[in-house]
Amino acid sequence: MPRGTCGALSDANRHAPLQVLIETHGALREVFRIAAHPRIESLSFGLMDFVSAHGGAIPKAAMELPGQFEHPLVVRAKLEIAAAAHAFGKTPSHCVVTEFRDAARLGDAARRAASEFGYTRMWSIHPDQIRPIVDAFAPSADEIAEAAELLLAAQAADWAPIASRDRLHDRASYRYFWTVLERAERTGRAVPIEAKSAFFPVSIG
């Protein structure tokens, strides 16, 4: 291989984004320092390795549903990973669910990962898991409608504080509702036409 090509590949490797799997006591202890590294884009939890590394102190049920959302040491690990990821603007990606034939339980697990544990992505281990995960991480139609209504009103007020549905809103809540619209767009949900035109214009050419 030509020397220039080797050099280019080496340089690319030095800047390639990384996804890190946290699956040991040591990695969990250093999770904030790991998340701070500029090449890290996403942090995931290695549930089964983490449980087995405890030498039987955590029961097998903690690798399954609903145990992986209930055992205190596993819950602590998930929360630490999510908190570290958010602290440094990285993506927290939830661990796998091995009950891949049970779409209802998988969907419930994905919703808990998103709403209770702060995860914004989730691993799948089987094609049948993809749709339930996407659906669980997508905002509801009511959430999308509220976000669109509020952001359009805020835009009309030049992003000054406004009252909407008898509540005061400012830039902090605008930021939250913007993430709702982003998730809707990313997961293929219908966004009201006026909001879509205002915030997600289609590029031509």
Kindly list the domain boundaries of the chain, sorted by start residue: 3-137, 141-199
C-alpha span between 77 and 5 (Å, rounded) = 42
CATH fourth-level superfamily of 3-137: Phosphoenolpyruvate-binding domains (3.20.20.60)
pLDDT tens per residue across span 127-186: 999 999 999 999 999 999 999 999 999 999 999 999 998 999 999 999 999 999 999 999
CA distances from 42 to 90, 125, 136, 176 (A): 5, 18, 20, 21
C-alpha span between 27 and 21 (Å, rounded) = 9
Element (H, E) at 40: strand 40-45
**Gyration radius from the chain CA atoms:** 20
pTM over 0.75: yes
In 3D, which of 16, 64, 54, 58 has the Cα closest to residue 37? Answer: 16
C-alpha span between 11 and 7 (Å, rounded) = 6
pLDDT score at 3: 52
pLDDT tens per residue across span 4-52: 544 554 565 677 899 999 999 999 999 999 999 999 999 999 999 999 9
CA distances from 113 to 1, 16, 20, 26, 122 (A): 46, 28, 18, 23, 8
Count of alpha carbons within 13 angstroms of residue 137, beta-carbon side: 25
**Chain centroid to CA 62:** 21
* Rounded average pLDDT over 81-108: 95
Question: What sign does the CA torsion over 181, 185, 191, 196 have?
Answer: positive
pLDDT tens per residue across span 51-70: 999 999 999 999 999 999 99
* ω into 66 cis (within 30 of 0): yes
Helix axis angle, 127-137 relative to 103-115, nearest 10°?
40
pLDDT score at 15: 78
pLDDT score at 12: 59
Q: Please determine, for residue 86, whether its predicted confidence score (pLDDT) is greater than 60.
A: yes
